[in-house]
């Protein structure tokens, strides 16, 4: 298939449903060959099934595209390594990694137990790090062998990672961590021909449809479906392609027909005594500075 990703090979994690599926289909529509990863777990991370990954592969092949399934657990070293191996075995290369897999276990902090913390941090943050680490090692080896890649990584954060979200301390922490990982990876991997960016999407998926059932319902009158996962995918496809040359270390919000470049932390008002503050002086200075600073945006779900 012709398109801006013609000839490229992409691996998409969590591609059996929702955003990942939409990304895989959109990449194929623009000429990419895709490794469809999905463990087939439930919306809270329980169990496993090869069904979702294979179903999306069948869907792609029925459309005339090329795809292979990968049902390994990308939160483990073996699973992440086999994701790269699947791409190399099937297509001889990997050009783009889209980290997307995840699930939710929402609790208020006082009710959030250690297992729920570890599971969500594991699938989102570790599930980004391990595929990225194995892909990066491959691309570094290619660069050192004189075959510098034109590689892309697209990580998936969230508004919860940017602003916080009540009842999602584990998820917000993981998604904020992904932003930090994105910035470090962009800086470290640029010398090897790798660009790394992140998106913070808003769409109707298994993770959001129960919480926002009314506001995210698909229209029945043929109107534009603002919450369709496919609305986010065009930006992912462009970031995955060679057309995005020079764009790295950036974070984009994507929702409906809107794309926003997020600015991130920047220094605001500052006071410098030139020596050590007393606690009272530090407090007075902090109070003065806060009157000059922009107020923070509200945390999602805060009243």
pLDDT tens-digit readout, 11-32: 999 999 999 999 999 999 999 9
Query: Is the predicted pLDDT of residue 33 greater than 90, yes or no?
Result: yes
**How many angstroms separate the CA atoms of 301 and 160, rounded?**
10
Residue 2: pLDDT band (50, 70, 90) is: confident
- Residue of higher predicted confidence among 143 and 212: 143
Query: Per-residue pLDDT for 209 more than 80?
Result: no
Domains of the chain in sequence order: 9-261 (3.40.50.720)
Query: pLDDT exceeding 90 applies to what percent of the chain?
Result: 87
Q: What confidence tier does 218 reach under pLDDT thresholds 50, 70, 90?
A: confident
pTM: 0.93
Residue 150 DSSP class: -
DSSP string, 192-215: GTEEEEEEEEE---TTTTTTTTTT
Active-site residue set: 158, 171, 175
Q: Could you tell me if 16 and 153 are in contact, meaning their C-beta atoms sit under 8 angstroms apart?
A: no
- pLDDT number for residue 271: 97
Mean pLDDT of the chain: 94
CB 182 within 8 A of CB 201: no
Q: What pLDDT, in 10s, does the model give residues 154-208?
A: 999 999 999 999 999 999 999 999 999 999 999 999 999 999 999 999 988 776 6
**Beta pairing partners, 70:** 37
Contact 163, 299 (CB under 8 A): yes
pLDDT digits (tens, 9 = 90+) for 112-145: 999 999 999 999 999 999 999 999 999 999 999 9
As a dihedral over the C-alpha atoms of residue 206, residue 207, residue 209, residue 212, rounded to 10 degrees, the angle is 180
DSSP string, 221-245: SS---TT-GGGTHHHHHHHHSGGGT
What whole-number distance in Å separates Cα of residue 109 and Cα of residue 86?
A: 39
Mean pLDDT of 241-262: 96
| Residue 150 pLDDT class (50, 70, 90 cuts) | very high
| 32, 60 contact by CB (below 8 A) | no
Instruction: Round to whole Å and give the CA distance between 244 and 237.
Output: 9
Task: State residue 215's pLDDT score.
Answer: 55
Q: How confident is the model at residue 73 (pLDDT cuts 50, 70, 90)?
A: very high
Q: Above 90 in pLDDT, residue 270?
A: yes
Q: What was the pLDDT predicted at 275?
A: 97
Q: How many CB atoms lie within 10 A of CB 182?
A: 26
pLDDT of residue 276: 96
């Amino acid at each position: 298939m012709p398109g801006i990703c013609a000839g490229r090979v992409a691996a998409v994690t969590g591609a059996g449903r929702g955003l990942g599926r939409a990304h895989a289909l959109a990449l194929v529509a623009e000429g990419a060959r895709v490794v469809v990863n999905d463990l087939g777990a439930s919306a809270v991370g329980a169990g496993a099934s090869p069904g979702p990954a294979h179903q999306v592969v069948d869907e792609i092949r029925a459309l005339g595209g090329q795809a292979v399934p990968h049902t390994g657990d990308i939160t483990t070293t073996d699973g992440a390594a086999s994701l790269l191996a699947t791409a190399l075995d099937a297509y001889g290369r990997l050009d783009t990694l889209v980290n997307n897999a995840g699930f939710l276990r929402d609790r208020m902090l006082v009710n959030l137990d250690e297992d729920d913390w570890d599971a969500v941090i594991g699938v989102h943050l570790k599930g980004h790090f391990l595929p990225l680490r194995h892909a990066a090692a491959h691309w570094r080896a290619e660069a050192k062998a004189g075959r510098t890649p034109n590689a892309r990584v697209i990580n998936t954060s969230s508004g919860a990672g940017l602003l916080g979200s009540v009842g999602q301390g584990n998820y917000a922490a993981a998604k904020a961590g992904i932003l930090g990982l994105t910035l470090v990876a962009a800086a470290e991997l640029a010398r090897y021909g790798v660009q790394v960016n992140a998106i913070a999407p808003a769409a109707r998926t298994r993770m959001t449809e129960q919480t926002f059932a009314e506001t995210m319902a698909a229209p029945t009158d043929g109107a534009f479906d603002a919450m369709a996962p496919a609305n986010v995918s065009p930006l992912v496809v462009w970031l995955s392609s060679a057309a995005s040359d020079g764009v790295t270390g950036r974070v984009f919000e994507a929702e409906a027909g809107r794309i926003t470049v997020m600015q991130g932390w920047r220094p605001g008002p500052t006071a410098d005594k030139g020596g050590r503050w007393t606690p009272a002086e530090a407090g007075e200075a902090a109070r003065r500075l806060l009157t000059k600073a922009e107020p923070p945006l509200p945390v999602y779900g805060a009243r």
